[in-house]
Amino acid sequence: MRWTQTLIPTLKEAPSDAEITSHKLLLRAGLIRKLAGGVYTFLPLGLRALRKIEQIIREEMNRAGAIEVLMPALQPKEIWEQSGRAETASAVLFKVKDGSNREWFLSPTAEEVITTLAANEINSYRQLPKNFYQISVKFRDEIRPRFGLMRAKEFIMKDAYSFDTTDDASMVSYRKMYDAYKRIFDRCGVQNFPVEADTGVIGGNYSHEFMVPAATGENDVVFCEACGYAANIEKATSGIPKTAAREIGAPIEKFATPGVVTIEALTKAPSSVPANRQIKTLIYIADSKPVIILIRGDDQLNEAKLAGVVGTPVFRAATAEEIFAALGAHPGSLGAVGVKNISVFADERLRGANDMTTGANEDGFHFKQVSIERDIVVTKWCDLRTVTAGEPCVKCAKPLKLRRAIEVGHVFKLGTKYSEKFNATYLDVDGSRKPCVMGCYGIGVTRTLQAVIEHCNDADGIVWPLSVAPYQVCITPLAVTADSAAMKLAEKIYAELTAQGVEVILDDRDERPGVKFKDADLVGFPIRVSIGEKSLAKGEVEIKPRGGAVAAVKMDEAVARVLALIKG
């Protein structure tokens, strides 16, 4: 390809709406352009890099035995009602109506479609296992599109769905995907690591997210350098000790705390109750009913864990009015002592705690010397707190660390949640009918592209890994008139490399050397071959790996040298 033939609109300055490095580089290197918030056009170079990633995914999915399909982006509302997700996923669904007023959803994912297909086409254990995947455009009405391709309203996702006869068989499928993901992200040239992930409402322990470490990531990951434990903050637990029990038999006692409505305020005189001896009482509305959450005063509630406990992702913090209606007091004076008829979910860390202080459900008053087990009716003990850095690892007790990361992939064991709802069953050897055991596996393809850039760049621009670079080689003749020696040699090397299957772009622009070099660095081609009079006079060309040192090479050896660099 010739530079002047394609479109590579590089920018000296980043548009002001780009904040993070990868987003700026996507725009500056001329890979994408924004049409609207969270909606982008892929320009030739961006598309080529994207296709590279897709191809890596395709190869590894095929290698793992998955089969490619393509499902519709337009999905009838009915199947979403059948799965129950028309309501639970409502917030992110793009809804459209056709001319006859029928409702459709633009696909954010395809469990409903694939399970419908399986219900119709899979009848026998002999057809299993099966793993269907597709690479397609997905739509999500993101509350807030962000950071270019990182969180977009429209994006490209690889999604796969496995169908197996048994739980054990499903685990095999899961494992295959897990291994394939590792290979995929390694091949894309990004540092990546799997972490245990939140399974939310579906529950179970079989979910991992693949993370690319990045300060600009949107996920917090807890990890242990000693034993390798790693988990999304939504899922992470630690070996932090429970609240120490004290030898106090004193009965519960109410005391006045006028104007004290925060944990922080209660730690100060005259009350002077340390946060770790306080019970934080939170009221949420789940399925339109209030529930009480108890966690220790110095802990933070983890809403992802709460979703798993209450069994629905549709919940929210209660309003002050709802709280007053439920408990007769306002936030700041709430407690669960003596509460009946409202479910009380208490964090494990409070189990056995006594001599605690909590609100008295009377504005301006608190209780002290509260013993949880004695004074509060706890509906369920559960893990509700958010882990913080430095806590002992749940596996090896060494201090945990916390870091930010970009989630690029997610593998998830679904069980029979969907197969039961869609009647996706098979006939077993013994003639009995059983629901397929499912798994689902996603990769954010466009997000991965950006993660690669976020990870592979320097002050001059992108530093593409060879595997995803839009072109492997950029030939830069410094004089471009058709009869110049540099251009003739450039054409020759271009033809020879192309014949060898190398992807080459020839910078045939009549620009000053500085401009061409800067652009080549910005776009980040892995190998640059420069041909100017200076080296030409010595019968040489220059070969420079992006980010590496220039090597002068005899012009006859240039092609072989480039091939050697590419083949590694």
Partner RNA sequence: CGGAGCGUAGCUCAGCCUGGCUAGAGCGCGUGGUUUGGGUCCACGAAGUCGCAGGUUCGAAUCCUGUCGCUCCGACCA
Site residues (vs RNA, CB under 7 A): 10-17, 19, 34, 36-38, 91-92, 140, 142-147, 149-152, 155, 157, 200, 209, 218-219, 303-304, 313, 407-410, 442-444, 446-447, 460, 478-479, 512-515, 517-522, 530-536, 542, 544, 550
Neighbours of 275 (CB within 10 A): 15
CB of 441 to RNA, least distance (A): 9
Nearer of residues 302 and 357 to RNA, judged by Cβ: 302
SS3 of 161, please? strand
CB of 550 to RNA, least distance (A): 6
CB of 307 to RNA, least distance (A): 7
In sequence order, which residues have a C-beta less than 8 Å from that of residue 137 and are 6 or more positions away? 73, 154, 155, 156
**Furthest CA-CA distance within the chain:** 99
Q: Please measure the distance between the N-terminal and C-terminal CA atoms of the chain and give it in whole angstroms.
A: 23
CB of 364 to RNA, least distance (A): 27
Nearer of residues 155 and 206 to RNA, judged by Cβ: 155
CB of 486 to RNA, least distance (A): 8
CB of 430 to RNA, least distance (A): 36
Nearer of residues 256 and 515 to RNA, judged by Cβ: 515
Tallying the residues shown for the chain, one arrives at 568
Amino acid at the residue 270:
P
Helices 21-28 and 445-455: crossing angle in degrees, nearest 10, is 100
Whether the CB-CB separation of 136 and 71 falls below 8 Å is answered with yes
CB of 129 to RNA, least distance (A): 22
DSSP strands (E only) in 172-313: 193-196, 207-213, 219-223, 230-232, 253-256, 279-286, 289-296
Nearer of residues 430 and 510 to RNA, judged by Cβ: 510
Nearer of residues 65 and 532 to RNA, judged by Cβ: 532
Backbone angles phi, psi at 564, to 5 degrees: -65, -40
CA distance readout (Å), 210 to 56, 190, 201, 275: 16, 11, 20, 36
Nearer of residues 200 and 526 to RNA, judged by Cβ: 200
CB of 192 to RNA, least distance (A): 12
Map tokens 């009915």 to a residue: 78
Could you say which DSSP state residue 362 is in? S
Structure tokens at 459: 């002050």
Cα angle vertex 415, ends 411, 418, to 5°? Answer: 100
Amino acid at the residue 28:
R
Nearer of residues 36 and 70 to RNA, judged by Cβ: 36
**What is the rounded distance in angstroms from the CA atom of residue 476 to the CA atom of residue 504?**
11
Nearer of residues 457 and 530 to RNA, judged by Cβ: 530
Nearer of residues 313 and 331 to RNA, judged by Cβ: 313
CB of 220 to RNA, least distance (A): 9
Nearer of residues 286 and 522 to RNA, judged by Cβ: 522
**What is the rounded distance in angstroms from the CA atom of residue 2 to the CA atom of residue 474?**
10
Smallest CA-to-CA distance from 498 within 510, 486, 509, 490 is with: 490
Could you say which DSSP state residue 12 is in? S
Neighbours of 86 (CB within 10 A): 18
Structure tokens at 265: 């305020």
In sequence order, which residues have a C-beta less than 8 Å from that of residue 49 and are 6 or more positions away? 31, 449, 452, 464, 468, 469, 470
Nearer of residues 297 and 442 to RNA, judged by Cβ: 442
CB of 269 to RNA, least distance (A): 31
**What is the rounded distance in angstroms from the CA atom of residue 235 to the CA atom of residue 302?**
9
